[in-house]
Amino acid sequence: MEQLSQLIQAAQNELDPQLKALKGITAALKTAANLAGEDGADALPMHKALLKLETAAAAINSETVNAAVAAFAAATQTALDNLAYDFAHDLREAFLARGETVKGRPPTLAIGLFIFQIDIAARKGQWFYGKEPLTRPIPLSLKGILRAYDQQTRRITNRTLDTDAFLAELYKTWEDCLSKKSRRPSKGRINIVELYAQLVLNRQSGRFWNTPARATFKDYERELFVRDLVLLRDSGRANFIVGGEERELRLGVATKSQAEQTNRSIWLPTHEMDGDYYGDLTFDPL
């Protein structure tokens, strides 16, 4: 009898996970069916149900279940897209009332210099300048979105730059980076993110170096560095005379591998949604 008991227990142990999986997919399908049977597609509950349905379906080997999940996923995406378009319409109207134009289509909208990325399933959105995030994901409240836009307009759009001073600062930082190399890189190219990090260090005061702490650290956010480079580029200023020698600032377009890594490249916008990745910086003698 002991051997029989062991065989029965082994069979039960094998079937228990399958039974659990069947219960899970049955419950998930029932929820999805109830939502699908409603008169209108309710995007957010459908998205929540889809996540559970996909998780449960992963434990089931069934083409019929997979087909049902795919169909429900497509319907959910359509509902989310419609919800995003409705919100985008309201956002367009809010900006139009202020005399500002919204370009693009959900989930990516362009307003002024900025991009607003909508995550309708999370009911949040996020402001970007080029590829640089300006805010954390914020609730899809028109008032909050407009307030964040105005804050970033003052901070980014209205920013001014002393181009001569910035060129000199970039050159000094470039030289500092070169001095740390055991061998001079080809054509004096310094990775642009490496140079940015050195520039941040160069801006620290003696107080910070005497007592390194967050309270004494002078921040220079990456999005401000990007904005300063854009302002410098748009000014047409690239030449710099040092020691009686004229040099020209040149940015090297990033390779594909560099562009895929934020710690090796920086995106400089040319328009709201257009721009280029750059991987290095040098000052060539003329």
Read off the pLDDT of each residue in 213-222 and give the average, rounded to a whole number. Answer: 90
Answer whether residue 206 is part of any domain: yes
Same-domain check for residues 170 and 278: yes
Among the residue ranges 14-28, 84-98, 180-194, 220-234, the one predicted with the least confidence is 14-28
pTM: 0.83
Look up the domain containing 190 and give its range: 163-285
Answer whether residue 265 is part of any domain: yes
pLDDT of res. 194? 96
pLDDT of res. 266? 97
Q: Give 55-61's long-range contacts (Cβ < 8 A, gap of 24+).
A: 55/24, 55/28, 56/21, 56/24, 56/25, 56/27, 56/28, 57/25, 57/28, 59/17, 59/21, 59/24, 59/25, 60/21, 60/22, 60/25
The 10s digit of each residue's pLDDT in 69-126 is 899 999 988 888 888 999 999 999 999 999 999 999 999 999 999 999 999 999 899 9
Is 209:218 a contact under the CB 8 Å cutoff? Answer: no
Q: Does residue 244 surpass a pLDDT of 90?
A: no
Read off the pLDDT of each residue in 121-132 and give the average, rounded to a whole number. Answer: 95
Q: Which amino acid is at 129?
A: Y
pLDDT of res. 11? 73
Is 240:171 a contact under the CB 8 Å cutoff? Answer: yes
pLDDT of res. 49? 87
pLDDT of res. 215? 84
Contacts of 60 (CB under 8 A, 6+ apart): 21, 22, 25
* CA distance linking residue 208 with residue 179, whole number of Å: 22
pLDDT of res. 9? 76
* CA distance linking residue 113 with residue 47, whole number of Å: 32
Same-domain check for residues 208 and 141: no
The 10s digit of each residue's pLDDT in 2-27 is 777 777 777 777 766 778 878 888 88
Over pLDDT 70: what percentage of the chain? Answer: 99
pLDDT band at 206 (very low <50, low <70, confident <90, very high): confident
Same-domain check for residues 176 and 234: yes
Same-domain check for residues 256 and 278: yes
Pick from 196, 132, 190: nearest CA to 169? 196
Number of domains in the chain: 3
Which burial class, exposed, middle or buried, applies to 155 when counting CB atoms under 10 A from its CB (0-12, 13-18, 19+)? middle
Q: Which residue has the tokens 């069979």?
A: 11
pLDDT band at 220 (very low <50, low <70, confident <90, very high): very high
Pick from 103, 112, 111, 144: nearest CA to 125? 144
Answer whether residue 199 is part of any domain: yes
